[in-house]
């Protein structure tokens, strides 16, 4: 059950960050100011899904990982620390800042710089979450192979 919750929370976190990234990039290229403002508000609201999913994925991962000596588990822990720091120190402040800039109709150089930083930090977290998912799937207990047949 814990493993299922862990994998589901991790998948929700990855899907949410990817959706934020894709909608942000798409609307920056194709959208007008109103569309950009709407995406900024949605990203902020979506934090209510992303933050709990990250906490559950990380906490259940730490609990599942207790006692493992595997380098893959150590790598997952290391990545999760970067993911959390990136989220708390870069992505969340950027989401708040960009939402207030967009609300004020302020699409100036500072908006562009913060937007670029947010997209880079988002891409880093998508990569690290994907690597954690890949390593999680490879840690999955393999079904026992049928014993070789005699004769």
Q: Give residues in contact with ligand HEM (CB under 6 A).
A: 3, 6-7, 10, 13-14, 57-58, 61-62, 64-65, 68, 73, 76-77, 80, 129, 132-133, 136-137, 139-141
> Distance between CA atoms of 2 and 143, rounded to whole angstroms?
19
Write down the least CB distance from residue 132 to ligand HEM, Å. 4
Write down the least CB distance from residue 32 to ligand HEM, Å. 34
- The smaller minimum CB distance to ligand HEM, of residues 40 and 76, is found at 76
**Cα within 13 Å of Cα(58), Cβ side:** 18
Continuous segment of H or E residues that includes residue 21: helix 2-30
Cβ proximity of 78 and 22 under 8 Å: no
- The smaller minimum CB distance to ligand HEM, of residues 141 and 145, is found at 141
Write down the least CB distance from residue 98 to ligand HEM, Å. 24
Cβ proximity of 129 and 10 under 8 Å: yes
- The smaller minimum CB distance to ligand HEM, of residues 43 and 129, is found at 129
Continuous segment of H or E residues that includes residue 31: none
- Residues in the chain, total: 151
- The smaller minimum CB distance to ligand HEM, of residues 63 and 100, is found at 63
């Amino acid at each position: 059950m814990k493993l299922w919750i862990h994998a589901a929370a991790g998948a929700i976190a990855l899907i949410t960050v990817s959706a934020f990234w894709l909608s942000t990039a798409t609307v920056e290229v194709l959208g007008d100011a109103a569309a950009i403002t709407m995406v900024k508000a949605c990203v902020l609201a979506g934090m209510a899904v992303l933050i709990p999913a990250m906490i559950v994925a990380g906490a259940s991962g730490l609990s599942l990982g207790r006692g493992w000596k595997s380098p893959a588990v150590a790598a997952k822990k290391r990545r999760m620390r970067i993911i959390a720091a990136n989220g708390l120190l870069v992505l969340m402040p950027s989401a708040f800042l960009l939402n207030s800039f967009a609300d004020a109709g302020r699409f100036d150089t500072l908006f562009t710089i913060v937007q670029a930083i947010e997209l880079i930090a988002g891409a880093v977290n998508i990569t690290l979450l994907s690597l954690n998912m890949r390593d999680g799937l490879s840690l999955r207990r393999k079904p026992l192979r049928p014993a070789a047949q005699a004769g």
